[in-house]
Amino acid sequence: MSLRLGDIAPNFQAKTTAGDIDFYEYLGNGWGILFSHPADYTPVCTTELGKTALLQEEFAKRNVKVLAVSVDPLDKHLGWINDINETQNCTVGFPIIADENKNVATLYDMIHPNASETFTVRSLFVIGPDKKVKLMITYPASTGRNFYEVLRVVDSLQLTANYSVATPADWKHGEDVIVVPAVSTEDAIKKFPKGVKVVKPYLRYTPQPNQ
């Protein structure tokens, strides 16, 4: 049965380019991103891992640990990292899982037989400190992901986790957010001292509370 939002993310043990890990231990009390790649030494995957490496500081600022997974073996991963660092002008500092037996791919339903019976699709999961799945995005193998969008969604998820707000369409860090319906306008005015703009009883904006 496939994972759904709000489900507990399955734990696993795996061999990675950074040694053997336990997924939960690796995440600790922070946030995590687990994302799959169809295969090593492929062009789109090379650019994706390079972009993730270039954004490592941004993920760290948000207390997010990243972890990639591919069904290729460990020695192939290690050779591929050299290519990624060279061609993308980066240093890959996060683990890549060697999932030869497809254990992780099966746990997270990353193989879609109608797309490919052997390779994973581009699945990405954001996992909260409570180990629950907060976000799932799936791309076809031919389309590289937008990791600035992933950062944007993490910012939104963390705001929702820490404050009673949601984010509107096309929201970017620093822009106004929406007061969730569960909070009354009276309570919102007390809760958000920067002010509450009421457009409709159900549509109320407030400046981003952690800015």
User: Are 165 and 159 spatial neighbours (Cβ–Cβ below 8 Å)?
Assistant: yes
184 residue type, one letter: S
Strand positions, DSSP E, 63-196: 64-70, 96-98, 122-127, 133-139, 165-166, 177-179
Catalytic residue among 9, 45, 64, 90: 45
- Residue 90 among the catalytic residues: no
Task: Work out whether the CA dihedral 48, 50, 51, 57 comes out positive or negative.
Answer: positive
Give CA 158 to chain center in angstroms. 12
- Name every residue whose Cβ is closer than 8 Å to that of residue 165 and which is 6 or more positions away in sequence: 159, 177, 178, 179, 180, 206, 209
Q: Could you give phi then psi for residue 165, rounded to 5 degrees?
A: -135, 160
Task: Work out whether the CA dihedral 151, 146, 125, 170 comes out positive or negative.
Answer: positive
Q: Which residues are catalytic?
A: 45
